[in-house]
Amino acid sequence: MSKPSTAEPTPAPARPAGRPSVEELRAAVHPEGLLDRRSGEHWAGRIYMRSISLRITRLLVNVRRVTPNGLTYLMMLTGVLAGAALVVPGLAGAVLGALLIQVYLLLDCVDGEVARWRRQTSVTGVYLDRVGHYLAEAALLTGAGLRAADLFHRDGSAAHWEWAFVGTVAALGAILIKAETDLVDVARIRSGLPAVQDAASVPRSSGVARARRAAAALKFHRLVGGVEASLVVLAAGIADAVHGDLLLTRVAVGVLAAIALVQTLLHLASIVLSSRLR
């Protein structure tokens, strides 16, 4: 039997000097399976944003003043500003909110790519990234509610604060859905179990499994995500610009709140009835 090696671990090879090519970056920062993750990669990232982000990352990887966590903080700020932009009256606010969410998504890709290229990934970075997602989605849905409330009295009457409340309900639901997912690993780790695997997400009840498959096929739950919600608000804003009122924006906010509430309950039931807590 050969003697076990006591040598030090081989250090990772140094990155090539100078600005990397897009191909070199892709090989290093898009590990195999990244774009195919069931729940980890956004559809917009797979379709177009990862191609754009690689080119931005290429410009930033050698700029030492730009740090991965600094990019994550900027992502968080951009997400909050997207929600604030929706308060701007008229179509301009809806357009600005949708554009800022795209910048938010870009930064969400770039911060991780820079971290992986520099080998500076950290628990802090993962934590800030999750907080950023919470903040952005809550800000966007709250901003949509404030937009529907007509703070600038577009219809000539007082602000309709009930719509601000509906938007806040939608934001709370979006946060709870994310919290329900994140708390699975918190519960498991505190119980001495490893992090959950994707296979454990399949519900033990056949009825719940069928309902889950139906929901996944319809994908209505995605509408409360930042990118999707911004596009819904933009479409409603375009329709309202044609009709000269806020009817479609209010319908959109009500639908998003209803989806958030229903999805909060369904997601909770799906987790409890799956093997994720076993």
Look at 11-20, 128-137, 225-234 and tell me which has the smallest mean pLDDT.
11-20
- Can you tell me the distance from the alpha carbon of 256 to that of 220, in angstroms, rounded to the nearest whole number? 10
Q: How far apart are the first and last CA of the chain?
A: 40
What is the tens place of the pLDDT at every residue in 6-56?
A: 444 445 565 666 788 889 999 888 876 665 555 567 888 889 999 999 999
**Residue-wise pLDDT tens digits, 57-100:** 999 999 999 999 999 999 999 999 999 999 999 999 999 999 99
**Which CATH code for domain 22-272?**
1.20.120.1760
Interacting residues of 129 by C-beta distance below 8 A, sequence separation 6+: 72, 75, 108, 111, 112
Q: Which of 142-151, 183-192, 196-205 has the lowest mean pLDDT?
A: 196-205
Q: What is the DSSP letter of 76?
A: H
Rounded to the nearest integer, the mean pLDDT of the chain is 86
Instruction: With beta carbons less than 8 A apart as the criterion, state whether 209 and 203 touch.
Output: yes
Collapsing DSSP to helix, strand or coil, 274 comes out as strand
Considering just the CA atoms, what is the radius of gyration of the chain in Å?
22
* Sign of the Cα pseudo-torsion (85, 125, 39, 105, in order): positive
pLDDT for the residue numbered 278: 80
Domain boundaries, the chain: 22-272
pLDDT in tens, 92-115: 999 999 999 999 999 999 999 999
> What is the spatial distance between Cα 16 and Cα 176, in angstroms, rounded to a whole number?
43
What is residue 4's predicted lDDT score, i.e. its pLDDT? Answer: 46
DSSP secondary structure string for all residues of 211-253: HHHHHHHH-GGGGGSHHHHHHHHHHHHHHHHHHTSSHHHHHHH
Element (H, E) at 35: none
Q: Which pLDDT score is estimated for 40? A: 61
* Contact between residue 171 and residue 141 where contact means Cβ atoms under 8 Å apart: yes
How far, CA to CA in Å, does 124 sit from each of 130, 154, 231, 248, 258?
10, 44, 30, 40, 34
